[in-house]
Amino acid sequence: MDKSYKIILASSSPRRQQFFKDFDFDFEIRLKEVEEIFPNHLKAAEITNYLAELKAEAFNGELGQNELLITSDTIVWHNGKALGKPKDYEDAFAILTSLSDATHEVITSVCFKTITKTETIHEITKVTFSPLSNSAIDYYLKKYAPYDKAGAYGIQEWIGIIGISKIEGSYTNVVGLPTEKVYQYLTEHITLIK
């Protein structure tokens, strides 16, 4: 990919959108509703790779010659299971209880698609929570309502400040995008249209 591309970000996540603003890249946001269902046999990064590519496939036949589409997906992988966005308070409470006093993995895949090529990268970060009391979980869920976040928490929010004792790997990956890897990919592979 040695030509100039315009970046199209297909993400409604305010955190991902902010990261692209922080890159100082010009980009356009285009959104499509995609049902995030994956085959049961997939594990860990296979799931996020599949979902990031599924989101990109929704744009088949719609990209221009000089457009680069970026899609992504994040899950929390814990005890051999993918924890996505919680359905409701009870689900979120159960998820955070399971993450309490334990280490889990946050996996984000990012798919880069042009009309001729699709490439996907992923990042894994290990996050350890100290023990979380029921009252702390209840307070967090009622005040911050993290129902749009994989694993029912945002590392940059109150629960991350008071509850996370250790992180191994990319911090921004846990927020929702492995920025260093994405920036490296973009600057190595393409010329961006200003």
Contact 80, 41 (CB under 8 A): no
* Amino acid of residue 41: H
Q: What is the Cα–Cα distance from 91 to 172, expressed in whole angstroms?
A: 25
Query: Could you say which of 2, 22, 26, 73 is catalytic?
Result: 73
CA–CA dist 86, 166 (Å, integer): 23
DSSP string, the chain: --SEEEEEE----HHHHHHHHHHT--EEE----------TT--THHHHHHHHHHHHHTTTTT--TTEEEEEEEEEEEETTEEE-S-SSHHHHHHHHHHHTTSEEEEEEEEEEE-SS-EEEEEEEEEEEEPP--HHHHHHHHHHH--TTSGGG--TTSHHHHHHEEEEES-HHHHHT--HHHHHHHHHHH-EEP-
Residue type, position 171, single letter: Y
Residue 101 appears among annotated catalytic residues = no
Catalytic residues: 73
